[in-house]
Structure 1
Amino acid sequence: MSLSLNLPESLPVDVLAPDALEFDRGPTVSVPVRSLRLGRSPRTGGLNDEHCRMLAAAGEALPPVIVHSGTMQVIDGSHRVRAAVLQGRQEVAAVMFDGTADEAFVLAVRLNLVHGRGLLLSRADRTVAAARLVTSHPYWSNRMIASLTGLSAGTIGRVRGQLTAQTGPVGTRVGKDGRSRPVDGSSGRMKAYELLLGDPSASIREIAKRAGVSPSTAHDVRKRLQAGEEPVPRHRQVPPAQEPAAPERAVALPARSEPEREEPADPEAIIAALTKDPSIRYNNIGRRLIRWLDGCRRGVAECPGIVERVPSHNIDSVAALAREYAHAWGEFAAALEERNREAC
């Protein structure tokens, strides 16, 4: 029997839309295991045999896999496919995705990062995925790719810098809000600066429109003009050979260096994904881990409301305790990452 006779029309989906993470709730079809292709996954280390055996032994119905209709490539669910083979099954339930290969990869990264049905992507996996996204979507901003991979914007910037020779420079990038912005805003800031010098009474919106910058940028340029500072912050200036001329009276302020931080994860989503993992939900240690992590999540969520209620004479001691706990969590994370490296 022809495979095409068993497949309904594939579902289109915006891989960046919030509901894309619930894609596996769409209509399913039974697909022969032998027709599926594995590989080209964000998971560079291949399948985890222990996890596959655990899924096969669980004996419960697993969520459908996500399959790219054009290539029959498994987008999400390779471990489930392997588990089905170990169970002796000839078919698996699948939801078909209709899109390009690049869109399929973006969806795979999103589904496997936090909302996967088992093993989360390692940092190494996410870094490799980021490199591929920088190459396939050079017009996406660092923060955009960071939000998809769970890495920091600074890390994406370094990955992009290493690949610039291959991808070539782009003039604008699309941010998380869907808006296009110039990679180098120096020329727009200088234009706004010149317009403000010529007409100091002009409105911010008028200056922004004429200079081709955002109102917030125009407002920042006006503040810098009033303070006698350069219109272009030092950390955004282009190399000296291309640097626009700045007014003589301007005084550059040293750029503030902010500590790099991983793009914030979604604790609730991560815990929800862990809760669905049979290797965790079916043993006492796993259930204890879930209760422990969820308790910490709830405690962190209450932090903003507690800060102002800590008595003044206890601030130093509570802050010291918080830092000690943060250090312990850092050690815990480092131990997990070291264990992951040893397993690779």
Structure 2
Amino acid sequence: MPADSPRLGGISQEHVEVLAQRDIEPILVHRDTRYVVDGMHRLKAARLRGEETIPVRYLDGPVSEIFLRAVEANVTHGLPLTLKDRKAAAGRILASHPDLSDRAVARITGLSPKTVGAVRRASSEDVPQSEVRVGADGRSRPLDAARRREAARAFLAECPGATLHQIAASAGVSISTACEIRQRVRRGEQDPVPTRLRVTRRRRDRNRADGTGAPAPDRSARTARAQRIETLAKDPSLRFTESGRALLRWLNEHAPDLEAGRQLMAAVPPHCAVAVADLADSYAREWQRFASALDEAVGDGKGPEQSRPSPGTAS
């Protein structure tokens, strides 16, 4: 059976003719339905050569996974999917698997998680909402972990003798999370939510510009960054210390010039776009870890110096 192809433009006859001149590698076929998962160009090339058979590798699994595997296979080898193909594929996957996280869909489609998030927001009316997300590691996580922790804390207040299994089941959290919440309660801590989760939620709320989760315009973000750096530059504890001046120089040197980045995007060949996007996403994650470490230090009542491990201590 023909493939449910992620290629919006269909079969490329030119690519078929190129493959017809080569040794044809096995195609990937779903065993139960006989649908071609990957290899329609190779199948056409074999027919063009007049061959009656073709080597096959069989894929086992549910029918609902066929399109996912087709996208994944076409992203990693063969004729590259265009950016438009991959975005359209991401939209289809989000519609059929709304519980998959942005990072999991990004790994399948070869897009960045931020691009998948933009596709999810753009198609929010067509994509059903899920209370949990399945990550790239296969683990399920609640969409609002902080809210679930608060529900577990409320249940524990009403039923102080509840078992860990009962606490976990009442709020849809893991056993380990239920154990952590009970330990917090026993220590007299009223807030069951770690600082890092509250920081994540505050940032997400700040980024909602129009009620859909879309980030605020870049111009506003640039103005806010400039104002913050200007405020820091006036702080005596930074202006009049060598380490403070070094920090200010470092922040200025590493401020992202997104406008220049947009101009350079035109120079990125389509087959390099995924690699460049992955690099940008990697840099963003490093900044996120840096910001989270500072937020956690403030939330714990420590300054950056106090939260830094002492020499000789494993971090």
User: TM-score per shorter chain, which class?
Assistant: 0.5 to 0.7
Give, in whole Å, the separation in 2 of the partners of 1:102 and 1:177.
19
The letter of the residue matching 2:15 is: H
Q: Which of 17, 27, 34 is 1:53 aligned to?
A: 17
Partner of 1:334: 268
Please tell me whether residue 106 in structure 1 is matched to residue 84 in structure 2: no
Please tell me whether residue 179 in structure 1 is matched to residue 139 in structure 2: yes
Please tell me whether residue 233 in structure 1 is matched to residue 198 in structure 2: yes
Q: Which of 31, 54, 78 is 1:69 aligned to?
A: 31
* Contact 1:38–1:78 (CA under 8 A) maintained in structure 2: yes
Partner of 2:106: 146
- 2:136 is paired with a residue whose SS is coil
Q: Cα distance, 1:152 vs. partner? A: 2.2
Runs of at least 5 residues in structure 1 that lack an aligned partner in the other structure:
1-36, 199-206, 237-251, 261-315, 339-344
Give, in whole Å, the separation in 2 of the partners of 1:253 and 1:111.
35
Residue by residue over 1:126-170, the C-alpha shift from the partner in whole angstroms, topping out at 9 and shown as x without a partner, is 111111211221222222112111222232223233444444322
Q: Which of 76, 87, 92 is 2:54 aligned to?
A: 92
Root mean square deviation, CA, Å: 4.9
- 2:268 is paired with a residue whose SS is helix
Q: TM-score, normalised by structure 1?
A: 0.49
Partner of 2:298: none
Partner of 1:120: 80
Pair 1:121–1:335, CA change in 2 (3 A)? closer
Residue by residue over 1:281-332, the C-alpha shift from the partner in whole angstroms, topping out at 9 and shown as x without a partner, is xxxxxxxxxxxxxxxxxxxxxxxxxxxxxxxxxxx9xx99xx9xx97x9557
Q: Which of 85, 88, 94 is 1:134 aligned to?
A: 94
Q: Cα distance, 1:211 vs. partner? A: 6.6
Count of aligned residue pairs for this structure pair? 221
Give, in whole Å, the separation in 1 of the partners of 2:171 and 2:48.
63
Pair 1:169–1:336, CA change in 2 (3 A)? closer
Pair 1:174–1:76, CA change in 2 (3 A)? same
Runs of at least 5 residues in structure 2 that lack an aligned partner in the other structure:
159-166, 208-213, 215-249, 273-315
| Greater relative CO, 1 or 2 (CA 8 Å, sep 6+) | 1
Q: Cα distance, 1:121 vs. partner? A: 1.6
* Contact 1:67–1:96 (CA under 8 A) maintained in structure 2: yes
Give, in whole Å, the separation in 2 of the partners of 1:88 and 1:253.
60
Give, in whole Å, the separation in 1 of the partners of 2:199 and 2:86.
31
Give, in whole Å, the separation in 2 of the partners of 1:218 and 1:161.
35
Aligned pairs for 1:287-326 (under 5 A) are none
Q: TM-score, normalised by structure 2?
A: 0.52
* Contact 1:65–1:93 (CA under 8 A) maintained in structure 2: yes
The letter of the residue matching 2:131 is: G
Give, in whole Å, the separation in 2 of the partners of 1:123 and 1:253.
29
Identity of aligned residues (%): 36
The letter of the residue matching 1:71 is: T
Give, in whole Å, the separation in 2 of the partners of 1:177 and 1:38.
31
Give, in whole Å, the separation in 2 of the partners of 1:217 and 1:231.
17
The letter of the residue matching 2:268 is: A
* Contact 1:190–1:231 (CA under 8 A) maintained in structure 2: no
- 1:91 is paired with a residue whose SS is coil
Residue by residue over 1:259-302, the C-alpha shift from the partner in whole angstroms, topping out at 9 and shown as x without a partner, is x9xxxxxxxxxxxxxxxxxxxxxxxxxxxxxxxxxxxxxxxxxx
Aligned pairs for 1:206-245 (under 5 A) are 213=173, 233=198, 236=201
* Contact 1:172–1:181 (CA under 8 A) maintained in structure 2: yes
